[in-house]
């Protein structure tokens, strides 16, 4: 009976897979024909970057393009987000594809003619604005994917939901946005999404390659704020004070023992970093209070709880031992869960990536302590987040300009591979899950 069921299933599925194969040949031609347009979109976005929840020009361009393709388009999602729905001509699953839209408060230093000269206000300070993480590339690639799949709408076995998301890089304290807010506003519903795919371009990964990782791919992030309260005094008479600067120094040093002494480092990695410390304003005054901010990165839920508990314990008890008090606010500002790629889905879809890039150009990657709010989508539905090479051929990963820096640079020749990969994932998932 099981064999009969298998043969019946194959009889119904084979035409769908054959059609998918024909469509993927069309994807290659269409994607290659769009290369110059993808680069033009990317350079325009790069020259006119916008910070999170302020992507007004950016979202207008995206919405106009999606409407021109005949998609159902919703704007203003989670402030500036754009969602386009492409309903295929045949029944099947709903696949979501996501790109992030926001830039960073970074002054650009790259010697390209389309370098950003934009300045704006952020947290009360004038800052430069730059696409220093590749979101301009992500948007342009997904706009091309929408054009490719819209051109074969009648043949699609299912629905595609294109999610252009604001504020992936976080927001000033008190604002809401990003993937978490989009999920809260129902972006994975109506129609209900069955699987979600996304990509990130990487400045240190060779162009023409794709990397992936099942399970924990990118870390959970917990920003933290530690406030140490002491007793102020004249700097010439420290015995009259409870010096919060000295206490803070002891806390900072002790925090480093969490990774070196509490974490099972052969199984998982973690990071505890202090990014800023502020206290006092004169050479001869011991201040009353010191404030520190930093970040915690972890790759599984147990480690996340352990590290947060230890940070609080070390801050509070160290201060207490030295006659001060401390409070640790974790998370502070925001929290991103672990970016967790569904292992079964990764195994199922790996041939799709290999078909797009060539098996020799697709490889397993190490988990990293960077973070991504794509994780909020993956908490709700199975998903895969892949990494696209953007380093020029012959480059050195160790010296390639890092993300979030003024010199961040991407080789544009790899964009069409991103288009082909997302299209393959969509078509093959539909073929495997169509009735």
**Dist CA 319 CA 326 (whole Å):** 6
List all residues 6 or more positions away from 334 whose beta carbon is below 8 Å from its beta carbon: 170, 171, 178, 221, 223
CA distances from 323 to 114, 253, 277, 311, 330 (A): 56, 18, 20, 18, 23
Q: Catalytic amino acids?
A: 102, 168
Confirm if 314 and 259 have CB atoms less than 8 A apart.
no
List all residues 6 or more positions away from 162 whose beta carbon is below 8 Å from its beta carbon: 66, 71, 82, 83, 84, 85, 86, 96, 97, 99, 142, 145, 146
Counting DSSP H helices and E strands in the chain, the numbers are 10, 18
Helices (H), 115-269: 135-150, 178-184, 244-257
**Dist CA 326 CA 186 (whole Å):** 39
Confirm if 381 and 253 have CB atoms less than 8 A apart.
no
**Dist CA 318 CA 141 (whole Å):** 50
Confirm if 148 and 74 have CB atoms less than 8 A apart.
no
């Amino acid at each position: 009976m099981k064999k009969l069921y298998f043969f019946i299933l194959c009889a119904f599925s084979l035409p769908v897979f054959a059609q998918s194969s024909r469509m993927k040949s069309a994807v290659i031609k269409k994607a290659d024909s769009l290369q110059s347009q993808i680069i033009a979109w990317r350079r325009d976005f790069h020259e006119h970057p916008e910070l999170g929840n302020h992507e007004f020009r950016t979202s207008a361009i995206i919405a106009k393009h999606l409407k021109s393709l005949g998609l159902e388009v919703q704007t203003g999602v989670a402030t500036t987000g754009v969602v386009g729905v492409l309903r295929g001509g045949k029944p099947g699953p709903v696949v979501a594809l996501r790109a992030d839209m926001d830039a960073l408060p970074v002054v650009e230093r790259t010697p390209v003619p389309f370098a950003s000269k934009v300045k704006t206000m952020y947290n009360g300070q004038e800052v430069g604005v730059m696409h220093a993480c590749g979101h301009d590339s992500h948007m342009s690639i997904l706009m091309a994917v929408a054009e490719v799949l819209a051109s074969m709408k009648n043949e699609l076995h299912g629905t595609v939901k294109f999610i252009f998301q604001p504020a992936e890089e976080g927001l000033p304290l008190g604002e809401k946005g990003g993937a978490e807010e989009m999920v809260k506003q129902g972006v994975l519903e109506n129609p209900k999404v069955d699987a979600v795919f996304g990509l990130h371009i990487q400045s240190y990964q060779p162009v023409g390659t794709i990397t992936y990782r099942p399970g924990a791919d990118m870390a959970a992030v917990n920003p933290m704020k530690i406030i140490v309260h002491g007793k102020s005094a004249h700097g010439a008479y420290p015995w009259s004070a409870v010096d919060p600067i000295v206490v803070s120094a002891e806390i900072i040093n002790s925090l480093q023992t969490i990774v070196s002494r509490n974490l099972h480092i052969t199984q998982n990695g973690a990071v505890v970093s202090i990014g800023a410390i502020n206290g006092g304003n004169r050479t001869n005054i011991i201040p009353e209070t010191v404030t520190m901010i930093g970040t915690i990165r972890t790759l599984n839920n147990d480690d996340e709880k352990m590290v947060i508990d230890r940070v609080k314990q070390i801050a509070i008890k160290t201060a207490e031992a030295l006659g001060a008090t401390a409070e640790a606010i974790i998370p502070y500002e925001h929290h991103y869960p672990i970016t967790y790629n569904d292992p079964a889905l990764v195994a199922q879809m790996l041939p799709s990536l290999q078909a797009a890039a060539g098996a020799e150009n697709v490889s397993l990657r190490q988990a990293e302590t960077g973070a991504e709010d794509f994780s909020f989508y993956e908490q709700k539905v199975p998903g895969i987040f892949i990494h696209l090479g953007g380093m020029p051929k012959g480059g050195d990963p160790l010296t390639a300009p890092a993300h979030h820096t003024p010199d961040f640079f991407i080789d544009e020749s790899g964009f069409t591979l991103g288009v082909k990969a997302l299209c393959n994932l969509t078509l093959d998932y539909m073929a495997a899950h169509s009735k």
